Amino acid sequence: MQRDDAGLTPIPPSPSHDPPAAGALLALRGVTKRFGGATALDGVDFELMPGEIHGLLGENGAGKSTLMKILSGFQAPDEGEMTLRGEQVRFSSPAEAKARGIGMVYQELSTIGALSVAENVFLGDQPTTRGGIINWKRMNAAADAQLRELGVQVDVTSRLSALPLGLQQMVEIARVVFSGADVVILDEPTSALSVRESERLFTSMRELRARGTSLIFISHFLEDVLAVADRVTILKNARKVATLPAAGLTKQRLIEMMIGRDASTLAASYQEGVTLPPPVEAPPVLEIEGLSIPGAVRDASLTVRAGEIVGLFGFLGSGMTEIARALFGQLQPHAGVIRLDGRPVQIHSSTQAKRLGIAYLSENRRATLFPRQEIYKNMTLAHLDRLVPPLFRKRSELGIAEQMVKRTGVRPPNPHLLAGYLSGGNQQKVVLGRWLTRQPKLLILNEPTRGMDVGAKREVLDLIKGLKAEGVAVLLLSAEPETVMTEADRILVMSKGRVTKEFAGERVSKDLLMAHA
C-alpha cells in the first residue's frame, strides 16, 4: 500500500466500528492498547470536532495518557482505528503526527532552558537566510508577535531558564500552537501556572478555537476544564464512561462519573469512606508555618508527629512535591518557618537534610536508582561516607545490604544482583532500604507505590507502617486517594499551592478528597 507524503499508511476501514460523526475532524474507534497482561485502553471511542475544546478526564491510570500517546504517534494501538479529516490513518512516529497537524504540549516541559525564548518558540524550525544561517532578527520578531498573541510580553532574547516556570509553560504552548497544528493536545497545562496565568491561557484557547483550531485539554483541575471546555469525555479503568456537553456539568458530577458513583448513591459516600483514627498525641517532629515558594506554594502550614503518618493529597501542580523538596534542601522557600523537634532550621542542601535526620523518597525512582550497579551499592549509597572506613567498605556494605534486603523483602534476595534486573516494586524496596540504613526521624515519601502491582504495594506500605510503629514521623504524598485514605492518620488536601482542607479523626471519602483538590 502506498504511503503519502507525510509518511502515513492509510488503513482499510473496519466494519466492526460505527462511522465517525458527520463533520468530525478526528475520530478514534474501538482503540485498545495492552502492555503485557495489563489493558491500558479497552475499546475506547473518541471524537474531536473542528473548533472545539474537548476536555479529557479520568483518575490516574484511567488511560488518558495512553490515548494521547496513540494520537500523537508515540504508540500504536493493538486494535481500533483512527480517522483524521475523513482518512483512516495510523501514525508510526510523533513526526508523522506533527506533519498532519497534531501537536502536543506535555506536562513535563520539553523546552531547553539554556536557549533563548525565541529559540525555544522555533525549536527545530528556526527561520534561515538564503545562505542557511539563522535569521535572528526575523525569528525574534516572529516569536515576540506570537507570544503577544497569547498575552505574554517578555524579552525573547533572554535565556528561557531566567523566566518563571509559568512563563516557560506559555513558551512551550506557543511553540506547539504556532507550529501549524490544528489539533493541539494540552496535558496538564495549568499545573505550573498561577490563577492569572491560567486565565490568560484560557483566553488564548478560546481565541484559537475561534480561529478553527481544535484542542484536547487534559487536567486534574476539574474547575479548569468546566471553565473552558465545550465537551468532556470521562475515562475510567481503561474504558470510556461518557462524552457530555460541558454546559450544565458540575465538578461533583464529574467526580461521580470518574470514581464510579451515580447521583442516587452519592449520599452513601461517607459510609463508603474510611474513619481516620484519633489524633496522635506524640510531640511534633516537623512543623511548617506559612511556607511559601514562588510559583508553587502559598502560606502552607502542617505538622507531623512522631509515630504518625500524615497524608498529603493533591494533583500535579498542587505544591506537594515542592514542599517535599524544600524539606530536603532542594528548594529554598521565600517565606515561612520549618521546625524539627521544636527547633527552627534552615535547610540549604540534601546533605544537611540527611544530617538532620530527614529522608526523602522521590516520586521518580528511576532518577535515584542506579540500574547497572548492584543492589548492595544502591542500598548503602545515601550514607556511605558515614558507614565504614574505605578499607573495609565492601564487606561492611554487603553486611548492611543483606540486613536491608531481608528487612524490606527484596526478591530475589541477592545483594550482588544488578538493581536494573528487579521489578518496579522491588526497585522501590531497594530505594526505601537505602534510607533505612540509618533510621530517619522524618521520612518523606512521594508516590511510594506508583506503578506497582497490588502485592508489591502492600509490602511497601507495610514497611512504612512498621517505621511508624518505631516512632518515625512519615509525610506521605500521593495523588491516589486510596493510598492516603488507607494509610494516613491525618490527611491534608492541597490545590494550586494551598492547603485547602484537613481531615482528622473523622469519616473521609474519595469524593471529599477530590472535591477539595
Sheet holding 358-361, edge to edge: 358-361, 442-446, 473-478, 309-313, 490-495, 498-504
Are 268 and 510 contacting, i.e. CB atoms less than 8 angstroms apart? no
Q: Which of 283, 448, 282, 305 is nearest to 365 (CA)?
A: 448
pLDDT digits (tens, 9 = 90+) for 438-490: 889 999 999 888 766 556 777 888 889 999 999 999 999 998 888 899 899 99
Q: How far apart are CA 278 and CA 319, in angstroms?
A: 27
Residue 261: the pLDDT is 53
Q: Phi and psi for 451 in degrees, rounded to 5?
A: 75, 15
Q: Phi and psi for 151 in degrees, rounded to 5?
A: 80, 20
Decide if pLDDT at 425 tops 90.
no
Q: Angle at the Cα of 394 (from 389 to 400), degrees rounded to 5?
A: 90
Q: How far apart are CA 254 and CA 238, in angstroms?
A: 17
pLDDT digits (tens, 9 = 90+) for 155-178: 999 999 888 767 887 888 888 888
**Whole-number mean pLDDT of the chain?**
85
Decide if pLDDT at 9 tops 60.
no
- Give CA separation, 284 vs 149, 151, 306, 468, 486, in Å: 51, 46, 6, 14, 22
pTM for this structure? 0.66
Q: How far apart are CA 301 and CA 282, in angstroms?
A: 18
Decide if pLDDT at 11 tops 80.
no
pLDDT digits (tens, 9 = 90+) for 267-287: 333 346 889 999 999 999 999
Of the two residues 81 and 397, the one the predictor is more confident about is 81
- The percentage of residues in the chain with a pLDDT greater than 90, rounded to a whole number, is 48
Domains of the chain: 26-101+181-266 (3.40.50.300), 274-516 (3.40.50.300)
Are 247 and 264 contacting, i.e. CB atoms less than 8 angstroms apart? no
Decide if pLDDT at 183 tops 90.
yes
Q: Phi and psi for 49 in degrees, rounded to 5?
A: -95, 160
Q: How far apart are CA 380 and CA 124, in angstroms?
A: 42
| Arithmetic mean of pLDDT, 249-270 | 65
Q: How far apart are CA 181 and CA 100, in angstroms?
A: 8
Q: Which of 278, 280, 219 is nearest to 251 (CA)?
A: 219
Q: How far apart are CA 497 and CA 194, in angstroms?
A: 9
β-bridge pairing 274-275 and 102-105: unpaired
Q: Which of 203, 202, 176, 206 is nearest to 190 (CA)?
A: 202
Residue pointed to by grid coordinates 544530617: 355
Q: 3-class SS at 365? A: helix
Which amino acid is residue 460, in one-letter code?
A: V
